[in-house]
Structure 1
Amino acid sequence: MTLTPMTRPTPPAPPALTRTPAAAAVGRRALLGAAGLGGLAAVTLPTDAASAAPRSRVSPFDLDFEVVDRQRRLDLLADRFVTLRDSFTDGGGRYDVLAPRGRAGAVARGGGEVRIGGREHSTLLRSTSRQDAPYAAVVVDVAAFSGDTTRDRVLAGLAKGAGDHLLAWYDRATGTVGIDLTVGGTTETLGTAEADLQAPFQLAFAVTSTTVVAFADTGSGPVPLVKATLDERLDLREPANLRTWTNSFGAESGSGTVVLDRVRAGYFGQLGLRDPHLVTHADGAPYIRDGKVYLTFTQAGLAFFETAHWGVWTLDLETYRLEQVANLFFQRDGRDLVLGDHAGHLVRDDANRRWIVTNSTWGDFANDSVEINYTTLRSSTDVLRGVHVLRTRQLRLPTSELPSEAVGQWDPHVVKIEGRWYVGFVNARRFFDFYPALARSPRGADFTNLSLVGADASKVETEGTVLQRFGGRWYVLASNGDANAAEIRGQYPVYDLQMKQLGILDAPHPTNIPWPMIIPVAERNRTRWLLVTFNGTQYYEPLLGYGTHGDTIVMEAQRTKGVEFPRSR
């Protein structure tokens, strides 16, 4: 592969943030007829009442959402999850000095730089810092090259020892950037590209699951230059490898001295954010602390869905500033592989002194199946802070009652309404043909004991299932993708708790299937209505492929009288 760096691929133009003609024609207070259940009879339920006396009288059709903020969070390194930070002062990190090829050079540090040089040498500095998941980045600030015309390399990556390392490198002598994997002393070059990089600049190594990318940043942001897949060569998802392959960097030269002035390493951040899901209490109230609402996001990795992972973020309700506060990884299926499952829901269930964690098993997706998994944690577990590797199991859903054989379920939303647990989810007939569904427990039973309420099997690409209360009444919301019929695509359908479609939400639909994540915030005797979603803007799609979207989009509707959830302040 040959790719000239620093020529930034032109990203696709972001879709216009306007309402669809269909939505405008219907009007936000008009009720649509039932969209049809595709032959599935809806289960009749009694009219739902709020778990407490309604404090507002609004319905979703009274709200008119407009975009108020749009931002792109792009971080190779997650700010709060740096495990190595060394500016090469006298009190910096400690390293094993390895010689991957031949002999190691002389290493001198201090005064804000490390100098690696001498006669022909290959020098790798292996730190003790590591990550508990195969989502990592190592960023090296290059101050000066040696000037040797035969070999003049900077290295960044992970290493187990002198004969076992995975490195991104740039060779100034040859104008080449590449990715090498060495196992048991045998080196395989997984990919190279032409590059013309002048010091100072940053060389970065990043891995998400089984995909590795070399980046360079000359001051305008990180640019991916080479992408490779580990396949069966090395599985960094294995805990044994995670414990022994640590953050490393170095230099190789035929002569002279390479100068580096900083290294940072830690958990990979994200190339984009999608699938925003509100962290809630069991009754559906938003989890808000100190003026910040908590959400989970799918954090886009270096390639398709299996390279993404899940994180917890706060959104400042005044400035809309996003800040990541937790990384969540998972083990399942009786295996110890650490995976980046995502697209789920965190619920604080105070009555049972626990957290409920549900998500979708996209972390090793290979076009075969996706399930909804879950675990429960003691309420004392601070799942909203730090790094967690959680073991989950499958949530058994009543899919046998649906009108077609399913290949997967995803996008869970869990809420307790009048003593019953409700679980909204997406059911897939095949990849990618899917529709929203709703299950519930018997009164007094747990969320794991479910029977089908209904589904809208007339849809063929509708996901992002969420439940939300308006005016004391509960509704199910979703998002219609482009594969649906022209007259309904680009809409947010609104259902009752029998999965009968009542109408559509009046809000911009900025990409194929943006989630309608609505957040009611109590402000004295009024409710402020926010909607957080995402768009489909990719990052260097020609090299990385689909899966690196998107921008975070915040919308706001007019404030309404009354308080939906008194605790949501």
Structure 2
Amino acid sequence: MVHEIDRRTLLAGLGLAGIAGLATPGTAAAEPENPLDLEFHIRAKYRPFDLIAPRFVQYDSAIGRVRSALVDTGVRPRAPYGSVLVEVRSLEGTVSAGLVGNRTVLGTYDGTNVTIEVDGAAVASAPAALTAPFGFAVVVNENAVTVLADPTATGTGWQPLLTARDQVRERVDLRVPDVLGQLNYGYGGDGDVLIGRVRAGYFGQAGVRDPHVVQHADGRPYIKNGKLYLTMTNAGLGFFQQAHWAVWTLDLADPTRLEQVATLFFARDGVVLGDHAGQIVVDRGRFILAMSSWGDFDFKGVHVRHVATTANVLSGVHVLATEQLALPTTVSSWDPALTKIGGRWHVAFVESPAQQPAFVFHPALAAGPRGADYDQGLALVGADTSVDQTEGTILQRFGSTWYVLASDGDARQYKVYDLRMRLLGTLNAPYGTNIPHPMTVPVDGSWWLLTFDGTQYAEPVLGYGGHGDFIVMQA
């Protein structure tokens, strides 16, 4: 896809290596600091990867021999982001997995080819040579269906063999609730197939990006039982539409312990989507969610959406209806950051006048009237239009002073602005591949910077979008 290549070129950068280990912190607020005086170093770098999010397994069973049968588990996802994993112990015939019901969306392997089919008609096929025992998986991300195999049969060697999106969408739209609501996870065999364990549940991630700490309205990070809550974009097996949003916890005593605790989807325009890249604010018994409309991105614009709810979105599975946030801009927008400063809601965001033939985007800041809610009367405070590859806006207080942080992909720097969007300088921190966000957070008298990089997963098969590694820095 030409557009994906353009985006990939825009986001490309230098490599970044990580070092394991981090001093054990507590949860107290950091001492006042000037962000320009801090020096950050990488302390941990790793890759979350799960075809099924560990807390979101919906079906788990030991099976046995299957002969010419397609098993309906009776369990379904609430959004088109799910996986079926099958242990194949012996195969004399065809193994299949996917969604079944009044229609079928399946991936199959017959010993020679892997095939993706809708209602029994093949829409994509590729040769493959697998020797039992092996793992076989079919993943649905939006309308993209991907077949993977694990030749090691250990659950640690998953590699994609075949993916199809447009061919599937021509026949069925899994984003439509009435369509998905008639489909369950399924699996089976045609011929003589010996199956071990079968699991099904909500898709996890091929990588993570866009970390944003869950915070209180005044900017304090949301920490509970020694764990920092944050949202991240869970990279899907493909482009932006295949990703979705999730809530994670980071153990402050061990930053290599990252756990997904909620998975979030959004209903709009008659479909359920994986909109992502946003923030959650805890405010007076409600949760304010703001996110970017990447879930149906087709190079025709992006905008910020929002919803306020009393549902506990920090746990479980949620499908929430959203509305467009009335930002003071006439162009595309994404990466919202909300904080109440001096009695006024401030919203930092990205403005983007173009996404093709190349992406152009810069940071901006809006503020509302004193006493107004976060979505009322927002007016533009300022924007840095001198840059055109700068995103990942963050509002953060250092000492008694508030700043806007953003990531400049051209300069390969984390820029620091005041609340009038005047450039003050840049953070002294490693800058890796892609456009890593400068998510700074105070922890026990120190500062952490949580970010990501552009390390792809299986890009030759899946294309751009399956990034990145999670990176923890400390000042």
Q: Work out whether the TM-score is over 0.5.
A: yes
Residue identity matched to 1:456? D
Equivalences for 1:15-54 in 2 at 5 Å? Answer: 15-17=15-17
1:231 aligns with 169
**Structure 1 residues 371-390: aligned runs within 5 Å:** 371-378=303-310, 381-390=311-320
Query: 2:118 is matched with which residue?
Result: 181
1:123 Cα deviation from its structure 2 partner: 1.6
**Identical-residue share of aligned pairs (%):** 50
Residue type matched to 2:122 in 1?
Answer: T
* Mapped partners of 1:359, 1:444: distance in 2: 23
Does 2:310 align with 1:369?
A: no
1:55/1:69 CA distance change after superposition, 3 Å = closer
CA distance in 2, matches of 1:166, 1:231: 11
Q: Offset at 1:244?
A: 1.1
1:23-42 CA-partner distances (Å, limit 9, x unpaired): xxxxxxxxxxxxxxxxxxxx
Deviation string 1:438-472 (CA, Å, 9 cap, x unpaired) is 00011111111211100001111100000100011
Q: Deviations over 1:524-563 (max 9, x none)?
A: xxx2211010010101101100000000000001xxxxxx
Contact 2:361 2:391 in 1 (8 A): yes
Give distance in 2, aligned partners of 1:116 and 1:307. Answer: 32
Say yes or no: does 1:308 pair with 2:226: no
- Whether 1:342 and 2:263 are equivalent positions in the alignment is no
> Residue 273 of structure 1 contacts residue 299 of structure 1 at CA under 8 Å; is this kept in 2?
yes
Tell me what 1:419 maps to: 343
Aligned residues of 1:201 and 1:216 also touching (Cα < 8 A): yes
1:110 paired residue number: none
Among 387, 399, 413, the alignment partner of 1:459 is 387
Distance 2:362 2:408 in 1: 9
Which residue of structure 2 lines up, in the alignment, with residue 136 of structure 1?
Answer: 82
Q: Deviations over 1:114-144 (max 9, x none)?
A: 2123xxxx32011100000000100000111
Give SS of 2:89's match. strand
What residue number does 1:41 align with?
none
Q: Which residue of 1 aligns with 2:96?
A: 155
Q: Which stretches in structure 2 are left out of the alignment for 5+ residues?
A: 1-11, 19-28
Looking at structure 2, the residues matched to 398 and 145 of structure 1 have their Cα atoms a distance apart, in angstroms, of 60
Say whether the 8 Å CA contact 2:207–2:235 is kept in structure 1: yes
Partners of 1:331 and 1:461 in 2: how far apart?
30
Pairwise CA distance, 1:481: 0.9
What's 1:115 paired with?
65
Q: What is the one-letter code of the residue matched to 2:328?
A: P
User: Which of 420, 423, 426 is 1:498 aligned to?
Assistant: 420
**Distance across 1 between alignment mates of 2:277 and 2:76:** 26
Alpha-carbon distance between aligned partners in 1 of 2:17 and 2:113, rounded to the nearest angstrom: 41
CA displacement at 1:16 relative to structure 2:
3.0
C-alpha distance in structure 1 between counterparts of 2:243 and 2:113, whole Å: 28
CA contact (8 A) 1:14 1:537 kept: no
Distance 1:55 1:295, change over 3 A: closer
Q: Is the 8 A contact 1:17 1:508 kept in 2?
A: no
Q: Of the two, which has the highest radius of gyration? A: 1
Instruction: Give the Cα separation in 2 of the matches to 1:15 and 1:57.
Output: 32
SS in structure 1 of the partner of residue 413 of structure 2: coil
Deviates more, 1:215-224 or 1:382-391: 215-224
CA distance, structure 1, for counterparts of residue 434 and residue 116 of structure 2: 34
Aligned-pair distance for 1:232? 2.5
Q: Tell me, what secondary structure is at the counterpart of 2:79?
A: coil
CA distance in 1, matches of 2:219, 2:117: 49
- In the TM superposition, what whole-angstrom CA distance separates every residue of 1:2-59 from its partner, at most 9, and x where no partner exists? xxxxxxxxxx9970359xxxxxxxxxxxxxxxxxxxxxxxxxxxxxxxxxxx984311
Please state if 1:328 is matched with 2:269.
no
Partner of 2:188: 250
- Whether 1:507 and 2:453 are equivalent positions in the alignment is no
**Counterpart of 1:317?**
252
* Aligned-partner Cα distance in 1 for 2:39–2:110: 55
Cα 1:544/1:383, change in 2 over 3 Å: same
CA distance, structure 1, for counterparts of residue 418 and residue 14 of structure 2: 32
State the alpha-carbon separation in 1 of the partners of residues 179 and 133 from structure 2: 33
Aligned residue pair count: 444
Give the secondary-structure state (helix, strand or coil) at the position aligned to 1:306.
helix
Whole-angstrom distance in 2 between the partners of 1:57 and 1:387: 38
Describe how 1:266-281 pairs up with structure 2 within 5 A.
266-281=201-216
Instruction: Write the distance in 2 (CA, Å) between the matches of 1:348 and 1:282.
Output: 6
What do residues 326-369 of structure 1 show as CA deviations (whole Å, max 9, x unaligned)?
Answer: 0000012xx3300000000000012xx31111000000000001
Q: TM-score of the superposition, structure 1-length normalised?
A: 0.76
Aligned pairs (5 A) from 1:394-413: 394-400=324-330, 406=331, 408-413=332-337
Which of 25, 28, 34 aligns to 1:59? It is 34
Conserved? CA contact 1:476–1:496, under 8 Å = yes
Establish whether residue 208 from structure 1 lines up as the match of residue 141 from structure 2: yes
SS at match of 2:178: helix
- Give every structure 1 segment of 4 or more consecutive aligned residues whose post-TM-superposition deviation is greater than 2 Å: 54-57
SS in 1 for 2:137: strand
Code of the residue aligned with 1:15 in structure 2: it is G
Aligned to 1:534: 452
Whole-angstrom distance in 1 between the partners of 2:131 and 2:423 = 59
Return the alpha-carbon distance in structure 1 between the equivalents of residues 434 and 84 of structure 2: 33
Q: CA deviation at 1:290?
A: 0.9
**Residue 194 (structure 1) aligned with residue 127 (structure 2):** yes
Q: Does the 8 A contact of 1:297 with 1:311 survive in 2?
A: yes
Measured after TM superposition, the shift of residue 210 of structure 1 is 1.1
Deviations 1:51-96 (A, max 9, x none): xxx98431101210000000101111111111111124xxxxxxxx
Q: Tell me the distance in 2 between the aligned counterparts of 1:547 and 1:218.
A: 24
